[in-house]
Amino acid sequence: MFKALIFDMDGVLIDSMPSHVSIISELLAEVGVSVDARIIYEMEGAKTIDIVNKLIEKDGTDPSTLDLDGILAEYRLEFEKRASFTPFENLASILPLLKEKFLLAVVSGADGSIVHSAINSLFPSVFDVVITGDDVEYAKPNPDPFLKAAEMLNVENESCIVIENAIMGVEAAKRAGMYCVAVPTYIEASLLSCADVLFDTHSELVEFLHSL
């Protein structure tokens, strides 16, 4: 029997990835790094520093010539100022009902300040546990973030349903031994074929969650 629902944030709870992509692209362009946006979408769920390092590697730039700490600090500031925390309303509206039946958690690879700002402003007092990229050494696609969530919720891994939209998130959930459903918010559905169930839209996902 399932006891807990674990949600990714970007692309599942809120429509925020375009803001991440735009700001990262702009900041790296300022230091001469050309960005392939597809890499950011396909690495969604990883820590921001890992995504930035991959973009720099792909561009062929020597990372030792860049102030990575400064770039990441500026990214956090710009995201807080400019990003649009837009919830997927059909999903947000069902959370109070789900909370009556399940423990609820968020597991995101994004920076802690960004995640907590979004969750506290849009979903106050909804989630029992929030895990961010700052809380684990090894982020998605490693299973550690989901294992930590299950431990903090005091539930077995097998009793968790993970709701994802990212390649690395689905991989991490399955490596954690959890049931995973997914919706392809920003990428091709075929890239999420490892999920136990794949929905075409958030509306279909909500229908599934209503049925639990």
Domain boundaries, the chain: 4-15+85-211, 17-82
Our separate counts of H helices and E strands in the chain read 10, 6
SS3 of 98-142: the string is HHCCCEEEEECCCCHHHHHHHHHHHCCCCCCEEECHHHCCCCCCC
Residues 168-177 have pLDDT tens digits of 999 999 999 9
Distance CA 138, CA 134 (A): 10
Please tell me the predicted confidence (pLDDT) of residue 50. Answer: 92
pLDDT per residue as tens, the chain (212 positions): 899 999 999 999 999 888 889 999 999 999 999 999 999 999 998 889 999 999 999 999 999 999 999 999 999 888 888 877 789 988 889 999 999 999 999 999 999 988 999 999 999 999 999 999 999 999 999 999 999 999 999 999 999 999 999 999 999 999 999 999 999 999 999 999 999 999 999 999 999 999 99
Residues 92-141 have pLDDT tens digits of 899 999 999 999 999 999 999 889 999 999 999 999 999 999 999 999 99
CATH topology classification for 4-15+85-211: Rossmann fold (3.40.50)
Return the amino acid letter for 119.
I
The answer to whether the CB of 178 falls within 8 A of the CB of 162 is: yes
Please tell me the predicted confidence (pLDDT) of residue 46. Answer: 87
Q: Which CATH number fits domain 17-82: 1.10.10, 1.10.150, 2.60.40, 1.10.3470?
A: 1.10.150
The answer to whether the CB of 144 falls within 8 A of the CB of 136 is: yes
